[in-house]
């Protein structure tokens, strides 16, 4: 399954980087290094959220299995993250994340960003 996720942040609080660094000139720049730097500085690898999926292990399983997914975990492929838009006047930034998750076509999934 391919996922394109567009997120919006208060300028300087998102993966683009601190306010002194992030500007309209950064549109199109990868946020992989700034994202990692900010997570390491805050000692929180889920600083920008995480993903979870609910799946049933067996056809008649009444309790769903919850999996936490971090964008750079081994089950995520073709991961990219770029600055999509920045408004210095209105103080916001947007990031576009693209990645693939290895899901079976026979299963049903609920996908949630927290």
Question: What is the per-residue pLDDT across 39-85, written as a single tens digit (0 to 9) for each?
Answer: 888 888 777 776 666 555 555 656 555 566 555 555 667 888 999 99
**In this predicted structure, which of 1-10, 13-22, 49-58 has the lowest mean pLDDT?**
49-58
Above 80 in pLDDT, residue 32?
yes
Q: Which residue has the higher pLDDT, 114 or 51?
A: 51
How many whole angstroms separate alpha carbon 73 and alpha carbon 24? 30
Q: What is the pLDDT of residue 65?
A: 56
Q: What is the pLDDT of residue 75?
A: 62
Confidence (pTM): 0.72
Cα 70 to Cα 33, 36, 88, 96, 108, distances in angstroms: 16, 12, 29, 15, 20
How many whole angstroms separate alpha carbon 52 and alpha carbon 54? 7
Domain count of the fold of the chain: 1
Taking a C-beta distance cutoff of 8 angstroms, is the pair 71, 79 a contact?
A: yes
**In this predicted structure, which of 3-12, 24-33, 65-74, 79-88 has the lowest mean pLDDT?**
65-74
Q: What is the pLDDT of residue 26?
A: 94
* Tokens found for residue 94: 């947007």
Segments forming the whole domain that contains residue 36: 2-113
* Tokens found for residue 74: 């081994």
Cα 56 to Cα 67, 93, 105, distances in angstroms: 11, 37, 13
3-state helix, strand, coil in the chain (%, to 5): 10, 40, 50
Q: What is the pLDDT of residue 78?
A: 80
* Tokens found for residue 104: 């079976």
């Amino acid at each position: 399954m391919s996922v394109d996720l567009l997120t919006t942040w208060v300028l300087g609080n998102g993966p683009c980087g601190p306010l002194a660094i992030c500007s309209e000139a950064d549109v199109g720049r990868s946020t992989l290094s700034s994202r990692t730097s900010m997570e390491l500085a805050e000692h929180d690898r889920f600083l920008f959220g995480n993903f979870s999926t609910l799946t049933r292990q067996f056809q008649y399983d009444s309790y769903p299995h919850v999996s936490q997914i971090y964008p750079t975990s081994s089950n995520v492929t073709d991961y990219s993250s770029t600055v999509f838009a920045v408004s210095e006047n209105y103080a916001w930034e947007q990031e576009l994340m693209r990645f693939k998750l290895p899901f079976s076509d026979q299963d049903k999934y609920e996908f949630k960003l927290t």
